[in-house]
Structure 1
C-alpha cells in the first residue's frame, strides 16, 4: 500500500489487492451484512443480540432493501443525494424501521468515489478508492443533493441533536420543508455536513461532534484507518469488524451515545472500550490515545471480555450506533482493498 502524501491517494499495490475486480455494489451490500454479523459490538445489534424490537433480521432486510439505491450510486444514474434517499427508502420499506441510515450516508459517497476512480472517461485521474477520491465526490455535491438528503428523513426516525444556534431552519427533522432555506442559502450537501461537523458553540470541552459529518468533510480519515485495521487483521471478517469497532469506540466518544445519554456517558463508554485493547496508550481521560492506537492494539482487542461489556451496554441502553456506521464504511474500504470472506 503506497501513499502519496500530497494527495492522500493510496495505490493498492498490496499482494492481496484482488478486491478491485469485484462489483463495488456487491461489496457495499456485503459490508452492511458483515457489520451487523460482527460480534460482540457492545451496545449494538449483532448476530447474538437484538435490541427490543430492533432485531438482527431487520438489518438483513435493510441491507437488501438498500440495494437499489446503492446500484444507483454505483451506476452514476442518480446523484449522491438521490441515491442516498433511494437507499434509505428501500431500507425502511424492507426493514420496517431505521437500521442503517448512517451506514448508507457513508457508503454512498464511498461507492461513488470507487466508480469515479475506475472510470477512464472521468475528468480526474483514475485511482483506487482513496481519501482524495471521496473528498472530491463530497465537494461536488449540490443543493439538490442536500434537498434529497433532507427528504430521506421523512422515511425513518433518526436520532439527531438539535441544530446549532442560527440554523433552526436547517433542522434535518423538517425534511422537505427545509428545501426553501437550503436553496436560499445555496447549501450543498457537503455544506450541510460541515455545519454538523462543527462545534455547536457551547464551549463545552466534552462536546461530541457528529463523527459521520466529520468524515464527509475530512476525507473519511477514521474510515480509511479502520479499514487498514481490518485488512491487515486475521481470522473471520466478522471478528475483525468487532475488533475495529472497539478501536474506533475506544479512540473517540460515540455521537449517538452523546445525543441520547450526554457527552459524559459517551466518554465513559469509550473508556470502557479502551480497557479491552491490548497495549493501547490510555490518556488521563481514560480514552485510548488516538496517536498511540496502533494496529497491534486493535488486533489484540479482547473479544471474550467484550462479551461482558456488550451485555452491560445493552442493559444500560448504551448504543454506539455512529461507531457501527464507521465500522461498516471501513469494511467496505477493506473489501475494495482485498479483504474477503474466503478462507
Structure 2
C-alpha cells in the first residue's frame, strides 16, 4: 500500500474513532446534539479524506477542497477544525524524508505557508461559516489576506485553539494528545476510550476556544475544571466503562446548555491522526519518531485497530 493510501486510511480511522467515542458535549454515536447527528460526521469524514491526502496539493488547496466536499456531503459545518488541523499533518507526512521526524517536518512546513494558502483557507472558513466566528481587527477572514497563513494564524492564536497549533508547532497535539493516546491504547486496548482520554486530557489543560467564543471565557473555564475532575478519574480507572453513566450524564447537561467543546474534539482527531502518521513513517523509514516517554510502546492507532 502506498504512503498516501496509508495516510488516507489513518485519517479515516481517526475520524471514525472520534465519532464512536464518548466526548461529553460533543456529537457521537452515544448522543446527537447541536443540530447534528453522528452520521453527519461519518459522511464528512468520507468526504474530506481524498482532498486532504491526495499527493500534489498545497495546504490551502487541501483545506478549501475538503470544506467544499463537506458542504456537498452534509450541507453544514461539521469539521472545519478537523480539516484545518489535519491538512498540514497530512502534508507533512506525504512529503516526509528519512532522518526527519513528523514533528520536525511539520514545523518546517508551517513556516513555508504563504499568502495563497491564506487565501484558500479564508475561502474555506467563509464557506464553512463556523459559529461564534465574529470579526477580527487584524487579518479578518472576510477580507482578502495580506499576510501568509502562518502569520494570520499566529495573530489568532489567543482566541482559537487550532490557530494556536499553527503558531506553536502543534504543541498541544504532540505534547499532550499523542502521548495520551499512546498511553491509553496500551492501558485499555480500546480506541474509543483512548479517544475519550485524549479529549478529556486536552480539555482539562486548556479551555475550549469554541465554547469561549460562543458563551464566554468563564463558561469555558468551568467546563475545563469539570473535565479535569473526570480526566483524573479516568486516568485512575482500570475499567473505564464504570464511568460511562456519569460521563453520559455530563454529556446531557452540557448539551442542554448548548455547550460544545468542538475545538477540543478537533484536536483529539488531530492527535489520533498524528500518532498513526508517526507509526506509518517509522515503519517506512525503519526508525522511531521522538514520542515523549509517557506514550505507550505500542504501534499506533492504525495497528491497534487491526
Q: TM-score, normalised by structure 1?
A: 0.75
Q: What count of residue pairs does the alignment treat as equivalent?
A: 276
Rate the CA distance shift 1:270–1:297 in 2: closer, same or farther, 3 A.
farther
- 1:194 equivalent to 2:165? Answer no
Structure whose residues are more often helix by fraction: 2
Pair 297,171 (structure 1): closer, same or farther in 2 beyond 3 Å: farther
**Which residue is equivalent to 2:100?**
127
SS of equivalent to 1:275: helix
| 1:6-21 matched pairs, under 5 angstroms | none
2:260 to 296, 305, 319: 319
The residue number in structure 2 matching 1:171 is 140
- Indicate if the aligned counterparts of 2:44 and 2:79 stay in contact, CA closer than 8 A: yes
Alignment match, 2:113: 141
Query: Which runs of 5 or more structure 1 residues have no equivalent in the other structure?
Result: 1-19, 119-124, 199-208, 281-295
Deviates more, 1:94-103 or 1:228-237: 228-237
Structure with max Cα Rg = 1
- Report the equivalent of 2:250: 309
Aligned to 2:26: 44
Post-superposition offset of 1:52: 4.9
TM-score normalized with structure 2 length? 0.83
**Could you say what the CA RMSD is over the residues aligned between the two structures, in angstroms?**
2.2
Q: CA deviation at 1:154?
A: 3.6
- Equivalent residue in structure 2 for 1:99, among 61, 72, 78: 78
User: Residue 14 of structure 2: SS of its match in structure 1?
Assistant: helix
Q: Map 1:272-287 to 2 at 5 A.
A: 272-278=226-232
Stretches of structure 2 that go unaligned for 5 or more consecutive residues are 280-299
1:193-219: CA deviations, max 9, x gaps?
A: 011014xxxxxxxxxx31111111111
State the secondary structure of the residue aligned to 2:127.
coil
Which whole-Å CA distance do the structure 1 matches of 2:305 and 2:84 have between them?
Answer: 28
Instruction: Sort the Cα spacing of 1:303 and 1:245 in 2 relative to 1 into closer, same or farther, 3 A.
Output: farther
2:220 equivalent to 1:266: yes
Q: Does the alignment pair 1:339 with 2:298?
A: no
Counterpart residue number, 1:7: none
Higher mean alpha-carbon deviation, 140-149 vs 51-60, is at: 51-60
* Cα separation, partners in 2 of 1:298 and 1:71, compared to 1, 3 Å: farther
Q: Distance in 2 between matches of 1:194 and 1:48?
A: 35
Larger displacement relative to structure 2 (51-60 or 270-279): 270-279
Contact 1:277 1:300 in 2 (8 A): no
